[in-house]
Amino acid sequence: MSARTVILTGASDGIGRAAARILHGRGARVVLVGRSPDKTEALAKELDADFHVADFARLAEVRALAETLLERCPVIDVLANNAGGIMGSRRVTADGHETTFQVNHLAPFLLTTLLLPRLEESRATVINTSSEFNRGARLDLDDLDGERRYSGTRAYANSKLANILFTRELQRRHGAAGVSAASFHPGVVATNFADGTDSLARLTYRSPLKRLMLTPEQGADTLVWLATTPPSEGWEPGGHYVKRRPASTHRLAGDPETARLLWERSEAMLTT
């Protein structure tokens, strides 16, 4: 991967940090994006890499990040939208959106679309980290912020389905211009997932069950594979993968009308 530029969000911990180390070891120029200033800077020093700090719960920081990346990265070979989490109780960001949906979908949607001219010029790969929990989604396009019906688990599942729908609509709209998009499920990985929230998921990640989970390196494997394998030489653009293989998804994930409407609703949410 010599001289290839990989922008990796959620890079300060978990599979993002593991992927950054692996990709750096293979010769990529890794550009780290993380929420924690200390963790992100520490990894950047370890890898002698560029880094940026951005909180995806603040869309102004995402816009500023995109502007900086366009200034500093004349070529973007891979954009890995890996940042995300599960929040538990319903919270609203300063931008007026439910936090899980904003952090997991709206923020990476915004970052990607702001970078699109550069991504097309670079014939880039865009990788979106989703989850097998997408299959439990109950996505309501008229209630994306969960104002009428909300549960932390459902909000997370909806956002992970949104990742897949975004991937497929991105491929439909911009594939001919050079963008190749894919989503993947990393597996259940022993990370600090759900720390700092009141989600019940945090109890699982602090229990003895954590010893049975995948390591961050194992969880990062499919991300690294997508980032280092040319499109159509092992994976098909627009696809969703688990353990380097095509994976089943929620029935709505294959519905082009839902994907189109989600894209349009997302654009509207970012302009109001």
Residues labelled catalytic: 156
**Cβ–Cβ < 8 Å for 172, 254:** no
Residues 104, 154 contacting (CB under 8 angstroms): no
CB 104 within 8 A of CB 85: yes
Contact 131, 222 (CB under 8 A): no
Query: Is the distance from CB of 11 to CB of 43 less than 8 angstroms?
Result: yes
Contact 112, 267 (CB under 8 A): no
Q: Can you read off the two tokens belonging to residue 242? A: 């688990």
- At residue 37, the 3 state secondary structure works out as helix
- Report in angstroms the alpha-carbon separations of 43 from 77, 216, 229: 21, 15, 25
Computed over its alpha carbons, how large is the radius of gyration of the chain? 17
Contact predicate 183/163, CB 8 Å: yes
* Cα–Cα distance for residue pair 214/245, rounded to 1 Å: 17
